[in-house]
Amino acid sequence: MAFDFENANEAQRSAISTTDGPLLIIAGPGTGKTYTLVKRIVYLITEKDVLPEEIMIATFTEKAAKELITRITNELYAIGVSVNLNEMYIGTFHSICLRILKDHLEYTRIKKNYRMLDNFDQQYMVFQKINRFRNLPYFDVIFDKKQGAWRQAGEIVKYVNNLAEELVDIDEMQGDADEHIVAVANIMKQYNILMEDENLIDFSSIQTEAYKLLIEEPSILEEIQQKIKYVMVDEYQDTNYIQELLVFLIAGKNKNICVVGDDDQGLYRFRGATIRNILEFPGHFAEGECKQVKLVTNYRSERQIIDFYNKWMSTTDGRAYDFMWKNFRFEKKIVPPEGKKAAKVGVIKCSGKDLLDDWYEQVYSFITQLKSSGVLTDYNQIAVLCKSVKGDKIIGMVEYLEEHGIKVYSPRSEMFFERKEIKQVIGCMILCFPEYVRKLQQRDFSYDFENLYKYYDTQCIAAARELILQYRDTLGKWIAEKMHKHANLKKDNADYAFTGLLYQLLQFEPFSTYLGIDMKSGVIDERPARNLSILSSILGKYEYLHRIDVFTENNIIESVERFFNMYFRFLFDGGITEYEDDSEYAPSGCVSFMTIHQSKGMEFPIVIVDSLNGTPRSSGNHLLEEIENKYFHRKVFETREDIKFFDFWRLYYTAFSRAQNLLVLSCCEKKGHGATPSKYFEECYEKLPAYEDVNLSEIKLEKVKPVNIKDTYSFTSHIALYENCALQYKFFKELGFTQVRVGATLFGTLVHETIEDIHRAAMRHEEQTIVPETIREWFDTNYMTLSKSEHSYLGQPQIEAAYKQVLRYVERNQSDWSRIQDAEVEVSLVKPDYILLGKVDLIRGEGDTVEIVDFKSEKKPDVLIETAEMNRYRRQLEVYAHLIEEKTGKKVSKMHLYYTGEDNGVPTVTFNKSTEMIDKTIKEFDAVVEKIQSKDFSGRAKDKNLCANCDMRHYCRRKGDC
């Protein structure tokens, strides 16, 4: 049967069917790039007989990866092709590199149980160790002594992140005659030492560690090169130096590399991305060897919009400015589909004069006229795009629209601390600590952070006092009890810290109402519950970083002051992003406000572009530029004096091209100094008709397209959790509340990881190393990294009991290592509406028949009594067995639960595989997932023990749900 190209145009067909050799796809906005990529992957699998695991697909965002996975699996499912997603290398560069590192961790400086740092963690780690940096030679040469430790930590992180992925030679830099460069080199070296000592990894080092692994371990590189036959990279214009190295390193001699992107939408120079990667890609091959395909037919935008942004890119001179693109972009002209009728209205302006309130009124009037005329059927058809959504001007517009009844979705406006629920909960928590309240009122602190103290006093505590008056007999009484308890901890420690205190507080109104929200009600109504969840994560992380398990007489004053005066201040000053849902980028009933960078890859029926006062600005750091000139492996590409123009034009081109039916340029017009619009927009802006001068009723708007992303679920983390208690699922999975860390899992993880080390040695044919001395080394290393990661410890009797379980397992199986075929095997079940993920601890057997084993670090239960538990495990193993058979083509004869805690009896419980039962189990899973996806969280726990150990037990007891 011939391949179904569906409605692909000629250029798309060429891109889909060109599979061998290097291919560069220049894909303009709205030209069906994702469609083409998906079809190309399906073509490779179905027409070229390429195995899914032989394809690597690198995307720019996790969301893009999820969308690709969804569309690929849907296409393949429709034609009956089964695929194990875990075999495919598909995701961001960072997730692919992390997978490579996890698979070969023993060859890297990273040990098991490493901790991944986000941007805040990274800066906070440096802040905590700031004296290690301040004592370095020449530190004062590049840092102002008056700078606080937090600001210095931020600068250090910027240097590290900017240089790490350029693979600069730190030793060589340390020998430079310039003290400034030596200072930066010293900082980087100290930072790397800290990361290794603490077993940490950050965003920028993921790729450098993976690259180092592949370079230093040729056998691993060869294994990956033999496996991956086709490499595809999306958004190639936003890749950096090390990512280009990784692409060509993994591809090796195989030249089946396809890169896709649009040089006109390169926005991420500030993250180290360089447009040169896509522009110079053909130059890596012999002349004429790299085929180039241009996708220029735009299926998104009206003709006037296309003409507008085409002209924007070609107009490079005006009043007092002039630059040339030269060879720094691919020449292209975006066109609408042949025969598409042009709309009467495509690009307009909506402006105020001089006063912001006038501008807000004009935007509001424009929106309400569209709504009242019936043209606008849902506010989510409008997106307002800006360079930043944090400024007073934009926040003012958000507040104006909300005050006038138009809901706004703007999670990156960093209004977290302005939300009512956050002020209320912070105020209530502060009042629980009488000594802190006394010091706050008297400003009896070492540092003067008046803005923060004023926020606590006049907004948070004031909000809490209002609640106490309203709920005197419940919330008020509880706060009084906590005040008394915290002032008298000499008698008895508390059995909670900050997170536990929050979970107790949530049982009371109005917080219990926030939590009781129907999850079908929409993102704005859910926002209070989701913000409380974010707060739980903040509290949990603080407790983890400062090793606070419970409040005691010795720690309560210091830990409370440090939290509210220091940790919270950093978050307060830096801002916190609110919840974003990848599966719904434009929530129904809301106008979206987002940054231009955030909008990349999206489309909206109406796009209002703000920030027309913008001007091209140089954003370089002189010292970093000097290091680039001396130590980067590639010389500067674009001319420095033109970079600001290139980036400015690309930014607004991206903004303009998000519009489907109507593009609106909007600003508060101003003459003279700081003129708005700036001279760079004069020509295109002045010619536009004002919205009052066009017939808005003639505009036809598309509906916002639903995001097509399949959710992924695992048996233990999702299916079993939901079946045990749907409400617990709502809190900890759907809303994402942080669970208070429990050390009970440390024992089991320690046993499991050491057994995994044994299996890996056996698979490397190193059975001679599986002896007590080596096993003890593995065990002790695992305990060291686990205890450091978990900030939790076992007593010596528990440590020896765990070690005894491992030795007992070895004694029982030491003559059987050759039967091990694989371990820690990830499997996936692709369904039309979801993907089920799982991991098989061990596959063993001979020939074409295997058995699967799942380990439990406990005594074997009485199978006649624990029937429900056994049935749950059996269902899980049956599905895993089914997936292993599909993955390997081998028959699974038996399924075992192996209890390492069993002393003398048979340590296994064995099940026979039944095809009929597998089908029944999968249908049961389908039913559970359907309930989860329909937001049905009405089920309650039937096991009292589950309630007793749940962080939300206080909430449930007061509600009568426990």
Tell me the binding residues for ATP: 27-34
Name the packing angle between helices 33-47 and 62-78 (round to 10°): 50
State the pairing for strand pair 834-846/820-830.
antiparallel
Structure-token match 């509290």, residue found: 539
Residue closest to 239 by CA, chosen among 210, 274, 204: 274
In whole angstroms, give the CA distance from residue 822 to residue 884.
11
Residue 214: partners with Cβ closer than 8 Å, 6 or more residues away: 100, 220, 221, 224, 246, 249, 250
774-to-199, 762, 769, 930 alpha-carbon distances in Å: 21, 13, 6, 48
Q: Among residues 658, 709, 685, 705, which one has the least CA distance to residue 298?
A: 658
Locate 946 and state its tokens: 């589950």
Closest by CA position to 200, among listed 252, 282, 128: 128
At a CB cut-off of 8 Å and minimum separation 6, what does 485 contact?
494
Residue 558 in tokens: 């210091």
- The Cβ-side half-sphere exposure at 571, using a 13 Å CA radius, reads 22
Distance of alpha carbon 441 from alpha carbon 434, whole angstroms = 11
Strand 347-353: give its sheet, edge to edge: 347-353, 659-669, 604-609, 382-386, 590-595, 407-409
Beta bridge partners of 721: none
E-only strand ranges, 185-298: 200-202, 230-233, 257-261, 291-295
Sequence-distant contacts of 518-523: CB under 8 A, at least 24 apart: 518/935, 519/730, 519/734, 519/935, 519/937, 520/935, 522/587, 522/588, 522/589, 522/590, 523/409, 523/579, 523/581, 523/584, 523/587, 523/590
Say which residue the tokens 């990529």 belong to.
Answer: 37
Task: Tell me which residue has tokens 């050799």.
Answer: 21
Q: Crossing angle, helix 772-790 and helix 744-763, to 10 degrees?
A: 140
C-alpha span between 396 and 415 (Å, rounded): 12
Give the DSSP letter string of 657-698.
TTEEEEEEEEEEEB-STT-BS-TTTHHHHHTSPBGGGS-GGG
Contacts of 798 (CB under 8 A, 6+ apart): 747
Reported in sequence order, the residue ranges of 627-783 that DSSP labels E, i.e. its strands, are 659-669, 711-714
Please give the structure tokens belonging to residue 169.
């030679």
Burial (CB < 10 A; 0-12, 13-18, 19+), residue 432, is buried
3-state secondary structure 170-217: HHHHHCCCCHHHHHHHHHHHHHHHHHHHCCEEEHHHHHHHHHHHHHHC
* DSSP string for 468-532: HHHTIIIIIHHHHHHHHHHHTTTS---S--HHHHHHHHTTSTTHHHHHT--TTS-HHHHHHHHHH
Question: For the chain, what is the total number of helices (H) and then of strands (E)?
Answer: 40, 22
Phi, psi of 295 (to 5 degrees): -95, 110
Q: How far apart are CA 562 and CA 564, in angstroms?
A: 6
Sign of the alpha-carbon dihedral angle for 755, 759, 762, 764: negative
Give the residue ranges of DSSP H helices in 110-148. 119-128, 130-134, 139-142
The distance of Cα 75 from the centroid of its chain, to the nearest Å, equals: 26
> What's the number of CA atoms in the CB half-sphere (13 Å) around residue 542?
24
- Which residues line the annotated binding site? 27-34
